Amino acid sequence: MSNSAVGERLSTIKHVVLVLSGKGGVGKSSCTVQLALSLAHQGHKVGVLDIDLCGPSIPHMLGLSGHSIHQASAGWVPVFADPSKQLGCMSIGFLLPSKDSSVVWRGPKKNAMIKQFLSDVYWGTLDYLLIDTPPGTSDEHLAAVEYLQEWNPDGAVIVTTPQAVALSDVKKEISFCHKVGLPVLGLIENMSGFVCPHCAECTNVFSTGGGEGLAKHMDVRFLGRAPIDPSLVMLLEQDDKTVVPKLAADDEEVRTNSIVETYQHCELSKIFGRISKELDDMLEAK
């Protein structure tokens, strides 16, 4: 199979990073979005490709639900999340007739869609292409790795939550990376504790420290620990992304130009700012 079309698209993209986790609901998409927002804030040009075909979440998180994709002579034009077009996004969510429609597809059809995303989307020049994946180690992952392999993707960021049940699935994902020869760039421990807004007491809703232990055990770089942040949850949920989420009803309304700026008002942006800086340094040094 010739993937030269994929190669052509990737030739103007500096770094390709996959975001993986064996477990669902650990925050792959929210971490992808936060990495993208942080990288964009640091001045990089970023693309987010959502290959979770049965459950695309990226459009909603970036506030792009209901948008559709335009076909230009150069290919499918991504949907941009900010006016300065620093952050573009492509997802099957933009192709569905309604938010209720399910994508009941078996493997071969999913593979074909992913190939199309990789070969037909006109990203232009990008510093980063982040690929958000569904949970598991199956068709979508094999397809993405297969089509990208020839062009040496930079590697994968693994996301986990701290509890033992999640860790065992994440171990499988790391084994998957080893098996297919995809470098593991590092591991993020997400949902590590929740700071009660009433009393500032931190509760480890899904226990804590498990991710760091796993990183040590599997010899993977530990990128950091991110607590549950209600203002982030709200930002990803709300329709208007230019309003800074209010935690108390009497807070003053703050408006920004774009989701990239709004995100800088969340506590978590400091952690992800550091993580994306670390990633960037690591990849630039390569």
Partner 1 sequence: MSAPQNTPPVGEVPPDANEHCPGPESASAGKAAGCEGCPNQEICSTQAAGPDPDLPLVAERLQNIRHKLLVLSGKGGVGKSTFTSQLAFALATDESTEVGVVDIDICGPSLPKIMGSEREQVHGASGGWQPVYVQDNLALMSIGFMLPDDEAAVIWRGPKKSGMIKQFLKDVDWGTLDYLLFDTPPGTSDEHLAVVQLLRDSGVTGAIIVTTPQEVALQDVRKEIDFCRKAKVPIIGVVENMSGFVCPSCHGESLIFYPSTGGARALCDELGIPLLGSIPLDPRIGQACDQGTSFLDTCASSPAAQAYTKIIESIKSLVG
Interface residues for partner 1 in 2-61 (CB under 8 A)?
22-26, 29, 54-55, 57, 60-61
Beta-bridge partners for 184? 156
Task: Evaluate whether 260 touches 81 at the Cβ level (below 8 Å).
Answer: yes
Please tell me the chain's helix, strand, coil percentages from 3-state DSSP, rounded to the nearest 5: 40, 20, 40
Shortest reach from residue 162's CB to partner 1, in Å? 9
Strands 194-195 and 202-203 come out as antiparallel
- Choosing from 82, 132, 154, 173, the residue that interacts with partner 1 (CB under 8 A) is 173
Residue ranges for the known binding site for ATP are 22-29
Restricted to residues 82-141, the positions that interact with partner 1 (CB under 8 A) are 92, 95-97, 99-110, 112-113, 134-139, 141
Q: How far apart, in whole angstroms, are the C-alpha atoms of residue 275 and residue 114?
A: 27
Instruction: Classify each residue of 139-156 as buried b or exposed e, where b means 16 or more C-beta atoms within 10 Å of its C-beta.
Output: bbbebbbebbeebebbbb
DSSP state of 208: S
In 43-82, which residue ranges form alpha helices assigned H by DSSP?
A: 58-61
Q: Which is nearer to partner 1, 15 or 57 (CB)?
A: 57
Restricted to residues 230-249, the positions that interact with partner 1 (CB under 8 A) are 230, 233-234, 236-238
Q: Which is nearer to partner 1, 103 or 283 (CB)?
A: 103
Select from 210, 229, 130, 219 the least CA-distant residue to 177: 219
Amino acid at 129: L
Shortest reach from residue 154's CB to partner 1, in Å? 21
Select from 243, 246, 239 the least CA-distant residue to 255: 243
Restricted to residues 64-83, the positions that interact with partner 1 (CB under 8 A) are 69, 71, 76
Among the listed ranges 7-15, 124-132, 160-168, 268-276, the one in contact with partner 1 (CB under 8 A) is 160-168
Total site size for partner 1, rule CB under 8 A: 74
Q: Which is nearer to partner 1, 88 or 227 (CB)?
A: 227
Q: Which is nearer to partner 1, 95 or 282 (CB)?
A: 95
Shortest reach from residue 134's CB to partner 1, in Å? 6
Q: How far apart, in whole angstroms, are the C-alpha atoms of residue 244 and residue 235?
A: 7
Q: How far apart, in whole angstroms, are the C-alpha atoms of residue 164 and residue 42?
A: 34
Restricted to residues 188-227, the positions that interact with partner 1 (CB under 8 A) are 194, 196-199, 201, 203-207, 218
Shortest reach from residue 177's CB to partner 1, in Å? 9
Q: How far apart, in whole angstroms, are the C-alpha atoms of residue 111 and residue 139?
A: 7
Residue ranges for the known binding site for [4Fe-4S] cluster are 196, 199
Shortest reach from residue 112's CB to partner 1, in Å? 8
Q: Which is nearer to partner 1, 67 or 171 (CB)?
A: 171
Shortest reach from residue 148's CB to partner 1, in Å? 16
Give the CA radius of gyration of the chain.
18
Q: Which is nearer to partner 1, 244 or 279 (CB)?
A: 244
Q: Which is nearer to partner 1, 162 or 186 (CB)?
A: 162
Q: How far apart, in whole angstroms, are the C-alpha atoms of residue 155 and residue 201?
A: 37
